[in-house]
């Protein structure tokens, strides 16, 4: 009787909990909006898989540090909490371009990038370097 009870308990714990679920829960529309509150960032999003077409933004050069990712077509008038003016590298996927703005709501100086391992060494646009200067983005 014990083996049957143990097998049944194992089925309930293991079988019912993880078989039908994806490895990571997929975010709604934008990975940094939670319960409709823009700008709320949840640290577990650092573990989400990268998008097929989109871009990931990193707090350190060479695609290191904390990150958040968005899909092609997303427009973020301001960045998630803790990311404003702290982006140091961008990795794009699926031939997308990122238009970065120095101010919120797609205002101020802007520039378009593909993948950039170190924004401190960019010479595009009005700034010598775009490291820690991005406040809003459009991914196309």
Residue-level pLDDT at 81:
75
pLDDT of residue 8: 47
Angle at 138 between CA 134 and CA 140, to 5 degrees: 135
- Closest alpha carbon to 68 in 114, 30, 107: 30
Q: What is the pLDDT of residue 125?
A: 57
Residue 81's contacts (CB-CB under 8 Å, 6 or more residues apart) are 39, 40, 41
pTM (predicted TM-score) = 0.66
pLDDT value for 70: 86
Q: How far apart are CA 98 and CA 122, in angstroms?
A: 14
Q: What is the CATH code of the structural domain delimited by 27-139?
A: 2.60.20.10
Model pLDDT, residue 1:
56
- For the chain, what are the domain ranges? 27-139
Give the residue from 91, 89, 93, 98 showing the smallest Cα distance to 118: 89
DSSP letter assigned to residue 51: P
- H/E segment holding residue 64: strand 64-71
Q: Could you tell me how far CA 118 lies from the centroid of its own chain?
A: 17
pLDDT of residue 53: 86
How confident is the chain (140 residues) per 10-residue block, as mean pLDDT? 51 44 39 42 51 87 89 88 89 93 95 92 71 94
């Amino acid at each position: 009787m014990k083996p049957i009870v143990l097998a049944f308990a194992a089925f309930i714990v293991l079988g019912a909990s993880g078989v039908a679920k994806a490895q990571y829960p997929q975010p709604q529309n934008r990975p940094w909006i939670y319960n409709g509150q823009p700008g709320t960032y949840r640290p577990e999003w650092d573990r989400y898989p990268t998008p097929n077409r989109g871009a990931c933004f990193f707090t350190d050069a060479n695609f290191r540090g904390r990150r958040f990712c968005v899909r092609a077509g997303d427009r973020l008038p301001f960045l998630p909490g803790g990311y404003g003016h702290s982006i140091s590298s961008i990795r794009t996927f699926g031939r997308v371009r990122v238009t970065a703005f120095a101010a919120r709501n797609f205002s101020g100086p802007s520039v378009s990038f593909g993948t950039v391992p170190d924004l401190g060494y960019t010479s595009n646009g009005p700034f010598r370097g775009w490291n820690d200067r991005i406040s809003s983005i459009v991914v196309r």
